[in-house]
Amino acid sequence: MTYKNLLLKKEGNVSILSINREKALNALNSEVLDELSCAIDELSEDKNTYVVVLTGEGRSFVAGADIGEMSSLNAEEARTFAKKGLDTFRKLELMEKPVIAAVNGFALGGGCELSLACDIRLASSKAKFGQPETGLGITPGFAGTQRLPRLVGTGLAKELIYTAKTIGADEALRIGLVNAVYEPEALMEEALKLANEIASKGQLAVRYAKAAINHGVETDLDTGMEVERNVFGLCFATEDQKEGMKAFLEKRPAEFKCK
Ligand code: CAA
């Protein structure tokens, strides 16, 4: 499928999805959100895609939800717009395949929230993060009040959201908002290296692990451990488990087939 506001490139078992609305610093309007939702479906169904790298074209990852589109919304329309972003990001978060955000520039408001819905965040040293919404007289609307405190802790999330301040990549690394920071020209190479490393492992195991972690962080420990026990058991019904263990015992690299 071709998109007006997205670029989709496939390199082996890794797909690179890039938000391509440079004139508005990749701000998310309804059209971009709809396309993003379709692209997530496409990538979910694509048997050859094991890992997704999400990034932005130009100097921005995503500079937030589209302020022009939001400016004239009434309360009910704003709730509907928020639902579109919330549902799309939730779909991304619950996608079976891992998603790495390669944050190349501004990740503000809805852009920061989009990165939070990804499994892993890598940043360019030029990246800027923040939830500037209170400066616009609104709250975050694409789950920033929910995912940011879960990732960096309540105190830091409250400070970022109440002050609307922007932080650089090093500060984002210090507070655990990103996993690593790279020079801008090295970011995509490093993101692909990580994606390919993940893609070389047993994919069903990676997907079960993602599901167990996502489930576990939203429930109590005993329920989470039961989920882990179940996915652990499911692994033993896969060819990947047989191949992975056989390869270890035969002292050779495993050849996983995602079966
Ligand atoms: N929505 C719509 N357009 C945006 C935008 C956004 N979020 N962010 C940037 N743009 C547009 C600008 O209007 C400008 O368009 P024109 O050239 O037509 O004037 C273009 O992108 C370039 O932006 P700037 O000229 O402002 O570039 P800059 O380098 O001077 O500043 C910036 C960059 C600091 C990111 C600044 O653009 C900015 O502050 N953007 C808004 C960031 C923001 O507040 N995001 C949160 C939105 S609210 C939200 O996301 C709510 C939610 O959770 C759902």
Q: What is the pLDDT of residues 189-240, one digit of tens each?
A: 999 999 999 999 999 999 999 999 999 999 999 999 999 999 999 999 999 9
Question: How much distance in Å is there from the Cα of 174 to the middle of ligand 1?
Answer: 26
CB-based contact 101:115 (threshold 8 Å): yes
Q: Return d(Cα 100, Cα 195) in angstroms, integer.
A: 7
pLDDT digits (tens, 9 = 90+) for 35-66: 999 999 999 999 999 999 999 999 999 999 99
What confidence tens digit (pLDDT) does each residue in 144-170 have? 999 999 999 999 999 999 999 999 999
Protein residue with least CA distance to atom 21, ligand 1: 24
Active-site amino acid positions? 113, 133
Mean pLDDT, range 100-105, rounded to an integer: 98
Q: Is 133 near ligand 1, meaning CB less than 6 Å away? A: yes
pLDDT of 111: 98
Q: Is 56 in the pocket of ligand 1 (CB under 6 A)?
A: no
Residue 258 has pLDDT above 90, yes or no: no
Q: In testing the pocket of ligand 1, which one of 29, 67, 86, 116 has its CB within 8 Å of the most ligand atoms?
A: 67
Write the DSSP assignment of 170-217 as a string of letters.
HHHHHTTS-SEEE-GGGHHHHHHHHHHHHHTS-HHHHHHHHHHHHHHT
pTM score, two decimals? 0.98
| Residues 147 and 116 sit within 8 Å (Cβ to Cβ) | yes
| Rounded CA separation 88/40 (Å) | 8
Can you list the alpha helix ranges (DSSP code H) found in the chain?
30-45, 67-70, 75-94, 110-116, 144-152, 154-163, 169-174, 187-199, 203-216, 221-235, 239-249
For residue 37, the one-letter residue type is S
Tell me the best of 25, 108, 116, 126 to mutate to test the pocket of ligand 1, counting ligand atoms within 8 Å of each CB and taking the most: 25
The whole-number pLDDT of residue 1 equals 83
Gap between the Cα atoms of 173 and 195, Å rounded: 19
CA atoms within 13 A on the CB side of 38: 14
* Domains within the chain, CATH numbers bracketed: 6-199 (3.90.226.10), 203-249 (1.10.12.10)
- Residue 25 CA: nearest ligand 1 atom is 21
Phi, psi torsion values for 24, nearest 5 degrees: -115, 30
Closest protein CA for atom 41 of ligand 1: 63
What is the average pLDDT value for the chain, to the nearest integer? 98
